[in-house]
Structure 1
Amino acid sequence: MRTNDVPVLQGGYAPVYEENVFDDLKVIGEIPSDLNGMYVRNGPNPRFVEEGRYHWFDGDGMLHSVLFEGGKVQYRNRWVMTDSLKEELGAGRSLWRGIKEPPRRDRPDMPIKNTSNTDVKFHNGKLVTMWYLGGDLYESDPYSLETTGKKPIDSRIAPLPVSAHSRVDERTNEFLFFAYGKEAPYMHYGVIGADGSLKHLIPVALPGPRLPHDMAITEHYTILHDFPLFHDQDALAAGRHKLKFHSELPSRFAVAPRYGSVDQIRWFEAKPTYMYHVSNAWEEVNARGETEIVMTGTPFRLSRDRDGNIEADKVTRQATNLEHDFIFYEWRFNLATGQTYERVIDDIVNTEFPIVNSWMQGYKTRYSWNVLMGRNRVPEQPRFCGLTRFDLQTGTVQAYNGGVDFWYSEAPFAPRDNWKHEDDGYLVGFVWNGTEQRSEVHVFDASNVGQGPVCRILLPKRVPHGFHATWVSKPRLLAELG
């Protein structure tokens, strides 16, 4: 396997090949006794590196978990055993090239390898892993991390490429998703119930094939995205994937009742931009008695020329080269007037991968905990260099960075046992300590991120840099699994 000439196959990015279980881990500080549950993170970890140009997003999915129980911890990692990985293991080599190379024309069923490496959620007693380009969903046992198979899907969903960023409503235990592809109507939206059955599915017509990344939910509504960063149509017709920012087009947001019909979808327009991740959304009644849907997230900071015009080519390169420069932003969609109001929450601190207290997803929140993004030292090698805590009520932000050689992960909110208020808990995440050349798990007091971790758990094996994570509290585990 080649690694020396590819930045995202070196250092903290380099893959690991063993599946391990570790107990009796060394702890600096003290693990809070009221922190009980499971932290799980997904990310790319190539078993075989294909020929051609490699991209960080190409690696096979691997789950890494840390189980907290009564002040003790256990670490475990395991491959997401997708159909494509099984094929390659049988062949003993890579059978697909990455997203920088042309797709396989002999495999219309899977021209690009579904690695299921992007996100992980807990639903109906299983961990569900997903892929950012959309495809089959895979389920794993939450304790062993063993892949148990594909998520059972209703025949109406089966042909649809389900996106990575589905949402689980912890209050209803529903799995809300969107699927998108290259054939009309180009998007679908659906709801899977707590028992795994399909409760709702509708088409959402788009003008053409798009590249939405995330979605948002409120108590009664779902918000779907149509941003003007999508395929170069000439390249797409030739079978190649090439991005283009269409600065002449607005951003569009579809607001639909959770179980709404096609004719109940309402479209709202806003300034052109692109966004990977939503922080939260909720319903709010304004001073005039009108209901507004409020959505917060971390869109790109768009490059502009001296006259204030968007430099579309630079925006495209920003996305292609993983040059991360983001702002924290708010949109308000007025259901009475059809108007959109938007504002900058913060354009000073560069952050991404926002998370909230997941029990309050879809309801008004005061806090958002985001990953602090650093400037790339090497092209296509992003740096997650700390954690932040935004207070939307006071308009302030608190940040923590352990030093230039530390690399962080998305750190989900972990409520303390019998939590009482929104930030009554912890943040838990993997950290690469470049100074000591080791991986650690850091636990932060969510109400005071700036003071640094309350404890650090040292791991005997490296955890490669990854993407999204989830926290499953002990009560949720017991309710679903007993």
Structure 2
Amino acid sequence: MMYEVDDTLFISVPAEDETDNPWLKGAFRPQGREYSVSGEHLKIIGKVPDDLNGIYIRNSHNNAQMPMGIYHPFDGDGMLHAMRFDAGKVEYRNKFVRTTGFLAEQGAKKSLWPGILQPNNYQRRGWGSMGVMKDNAGTDVIAHAGHVIASMSQGSEPWCLSPTTLETFGVNKNWASMVPDGLASHYKVDNETGDMIFFNYPEKAPFMNYGVINRDDKMVHYVPIELPGARWPHDLGMTKNYSILHDLPYFYNPEMLRNGTRKLEFHKEMPSRFGIIPRFGRTEDVRWFEAKPCWVMHLSNCFEDGDWVVQDGCIWDNPVKPPVDDPNDVYAKIARQLDKQATHTHMYRWMFNMRTGEVKEFSLDDEVTEFPIVSNDFVGLKNRYSYNSIFSSHDWVMDGLKRYDLFSNTAVRYEYGPGRFGSEVCVAMKDGFTYEDDAYVVTFLNDMVQDQSECVIFDAAHIEAGPVCTIILPERISAGTHACWVEADRIDGENRQLTDNYWEINAN
């Protein structure tokens, strides 16, 4: 196998047989080598589609140093994995995100910041809403204005990287200094206008900020959003004219937080609040709607339908943590927290009437799924399909893929098979697409039996038929977090060339 590798990296994590931490072994085993491999050196099963053009990029928490204290799978250093498709040719590469924290620990050759479970053990200033962790940039990744942006969920510097080489450019030179509370996942990009909307949620008043970056990578809007107290949101919604902000009753105990102790609690006596704000609105323009108590990790899509603003996503209607057999088993507690079956995470719809104030909400499916995805070209617009990951019972790995047809209320699925676990999928529209699922679904799979990773490509209209092409990666990669698709005409900037009948496709 031919590859390029950076030999200057200092990677110090235990071998799988030297640790009892399940988040540093098995599907979560950290990877230390950075590859750059062209298609001629990759094993390809099937034919790479000629009308698939762009880059699939997936993030992951890939720890580079022995952790300081208890290691949680959200603590690891960000590592991006990318597969580029160009007229039937492919290229794979992966790189650590060179954040300030990563480089500091490379120099020290040890961990310098604690993880999410032990924030009070910090010895130096950190990042995120808590302000004590390393900015690992390992959660989200989105393309905008000619670069990809990687961040961690709590809010981090907007780390910009090349979509083609994954080289870290540094924090965004145009507007990073204007967001001292950072950039939280999940930011959204409007492919029509090139706008990117984002938010953050510091532990100090006003407790949330909301902003818009335009297609030229200039901050054109940034305003405080006044909340009753510190919150722990994870996502936000976007439609053609509005953004949807979340004030949910799953947050740190306020009294304990004042004393420096962070204990997440589900306040089941409080309603959920969803704030709908015009894209360039201010806190006084937010219209708040109440719904049943819940928590929401990931949205599928939001859109406007007459007087209604519709939000589809995966609801946690039972965020209460069930007990574990051994209260001193910290790894069992982490596993319980991540178990999607325990929180009954499933597809759900909220509808907010902007004229009457009415709220409707109901389940779209009872099966546990998460990481719901639609095509970039339909984000913020009425969509027919959502592609969700099926999660293993009592384990934080993705067993398969489920496609929802939201018009006919039907679904089809594809299960990856024993010992095969997926990543967040992306929908890549075919060149000159003429309907919404005239596309491919792309993801990375880990095969634990064969000890290998694959990039697999499905026909979006027929996922149940299995992959049309499989590309074997040079090494088995760690289980990951979020992914993005960068269309070929968006690699250098917000230059998406929509087809002539695009609006007709959306209308139907």
TM over 0.5: yes
- Counterpart of 1:448 (choices 462, 468, 472) is 462
Task: Name the stretch that deviates more: 229-238 or 209-218.
Answer: 229-238
Question: 1:105 Cα shift?
Answer: 4.6
SS at match of 1:375: coil
Question: Which residue of structure 2 lines up, in the alignment, with residue 299 of structure 1?
Answer: 315
Q: Is 1:15 matched with 2:30? A: yes
Q: In the aligned structure 2, how far is the partner of 1:121 from the partner of 1:93?
A: 29
Once the two structures are superposed, residues 317-369 of structure 1 have per-residue CA deviations (whole angstroms, 9 ceiling, x without a partner) of: 7996201131100000011111211011111x211000101111111001000
Once the two structures are superposed, residues 86-132 of structure 1 have per-residue CA deviations (whole angstroms, 9 ceiling, x without a partner) of: 11011111111211113455434541111000111111111111110
SS at match of 2:388: strand
Question: Which residue of structure 1 lines up, in the alignment, with residue 192 of structure 2?
Answer: 171
Q: Is 1:324 matched with 2:340? A: yes
C-alpha spacing 1:337/1:156, structure 2 compared with 1 (3 Å): farther
Question: Which residue of structure 2 lines up, in the alignment, with residue 306 of structure 1?
Answer: none
Once the two structures are superposed, residues 356-404 of structure 1 have per-residue CA deviations (whole angstroms, 9 ceiling, x without a partner) of: 011111110010001111102xxxx402111110001111111111212
C-alpha spacing 1:28/1:109, structure 2 compared with 1 (3 Å): closer
SS at match of 1:346: coil
Question: Which residue of structure 1 lines up, in the alignment, with residue 505 of structure 2?
Answer: none
- Counterpart of 1:98 (choices 105, 115, 122) is 115
Give the number of aligned pairs: 464
Q: Are the aligned partners of 2:322 and 2:336 in contact in 1 as well (CA < 8 Å)?
A: no
Question: Which residue of structure 2 lines up, in the alignment, with residue 336 of structure 1?
Answer: 355
When normalised by structure 2's length, the TM-score is: 0.88
Task: Name the stretch that deviates more: 146-155 or 333-342.
Answer: 146-155
| Structure 2 stretches lacking a partner, 5+ long | 1-12, 325-332, 497-508
Q: Are the aligned partners of 1:268 and 1:340 in contact in 2 as well (CA < 8 Å)?
A: yes
Q: In the aligned structure 2, how far is the partner of 1:50 from the partner of 1:156?
A: 29
C-alpha spacing 1:136/1:315, structure 2 compared with 1 (3 Å): farther
Q: Is 1:145 matched with 2:166? A: yes
Question: 1:432 Cα shift?
Answer: 0.4
What pairs up with 1:385-400 in 2 under 5 angstroms? 385-400=399-414
C-alpha spacing 1:273/1:315, structure 2 compared with 1 (3 Å): farther
Question: Which residue of structure 2 lines up, in the alignment, with residue 374 of structure 1?
Answer: 392
Q: In the aligned structure 1, how far is the partner of 2:391 from the partner of 2:295?
A: 17
Q: In the aligned structure 2, how far is the partner of 1:66 from the partner of 1:132?
A: 24
Q: Are the aligned partners of 1:173 and 1:194 in contact in 2 as well (CA < 8 Å)?
A: yes
Q: Is 1:281 matched with 2:295? A: no
What pairs up with 1:165-244 in 2 under 5 angstroms? 165-244=186-265
Whichever residue aligns with residue 191 of structure 1, its letter is V
Q: Are the aligned partners of 1:442 and 1:455 in contact in 2 as well (CA < 8 Å)?
A: yes
SS at match of 1:59: coil
Question: Which residue of structure 1 lines up, in the alignment, with residue 453 of structure 2?
Answer: 439
Question: 1:151 Cα shift?
Answer: 1.4
Identity of aligned residues (%): 39
Question: Which residue of structure 2 lines up, in the alignment, with residue 411 of structure 1?
Answer: 425
Whichever residue aligns with residue 61 of structure 2, its letter is P
Question: Which residue of structure 2 lines up, in the alignment, with residue 364 of structure 1?
Answer: 382
Whichever residue aligns with residue 217 of structure 2, its letter is G
Q: In the aligned structure 2, how far is the partner of 1:298 from the partner of 1:319?
A: 19
Q: Are the aligned partners of 1:222 and 1:258 in contact in 2 as well (CA < 8 Å)?
A: yes
Question: 1:192 Cα shift?
Answer: 0.8
Question: Which residue of structure 1 lines up, in the alignment, with residue 133 of structure 2?
Answer: 112
Whichever residue aligns with residue 22 of structure 1, its letter is V
Say what the alpha-carbon RMSD is for the aligned residues: 1.9
| Structure 1 stretches lacking a partner, 5+ long | 286-290, 304-311
Q: Are the aligned partners of 2:145 and 2:493 in contact in 1 as well (CA < 8 Å)?
A: no
Once the two structures are superposed, residues 390-431 of structure 1 have per-residue CA deviations (whole angstroms, 9 ceiling, x without a partner) of: 001111111111212110011100111111111111010000
Task: Name the stretch that deviates more: 319-328 or 152-161.
Answer: 152-161
Larger fraction in strand: 1
Once the two structures are superposed, residues 23-58 of structure 1 have per-residue CA deviations (whole angstroms, 9 ceiling, x without a partner) of: 221111211111111110111111102132111101
Question: 1:239 Cα shift?
Answer: 2.4
Q: Are the aligned partners of 2:252 and 2:264 in contact in 1 as well (CA < 8 Å)?
A: yes
- Counterpart of 1:58 (choices 75, 85, 88) is 75
Q: Is 1:314 matched with 2:335? A: no
Once the two structures are superposed, residues 179-238 of structure 1 have per-residue CA deviations (whole angstroms, 9 ceiling, x without a partner) of: 111000100111011111111122111111000100010000000001111112244233
Question: Which residue of structure 2 lines up, in the alignment, with residue 308 of structure 1?
Answer: none
- Counterpart of 1:345 (choices 356, 364, 371) is 364
Question: Which residue of structure 2 lines up, in the alignment, with residue 307 of structure 1?
Answer: none
C-alpha spacing 1:263/1:396, structure 2 compared with 1 (3 Å): same
SS at match of 1:33: coil
Q: In the aligned structure 2, how far is the partner of 1:395 from the partner of 1:126?
A: 37
Q: In the aligned structure 1, how far is the partner of 2:495 from the partner of 2:378?
A: 23
C-alpha spacing 1:275/1:315, structure 2 compared with 1 (3 Å): farther
Q: Are the aligned partners of 1:50 and 1:94 in contact in 2 as well (CA < 8 Å)?
A: yes
SS at match of 1:329: strand
Off by >4 Å, runs of 4+ in structure 1: 315-320, 478-482
Question: Which residue of structure 2 lines up, in the alignment, with residue 160 of structure 1?
Answer: 181
Whichever residue aligns with residue 382 of structure 2, its letter is K
Question: Which residue of structure 1 lines up, in the alignment, with residue 280 of structure 2?
Answer: 259
Once the two structures are superposed, residues 213-270 of structure 1 have per-residue CA deviations (whole angstroms, 9 ceiling, x without a partner) of: 0001000000000111111224423323321110000110000111113221100000
Whichever residue aligns with residue 352 of structure 2, its letter is F
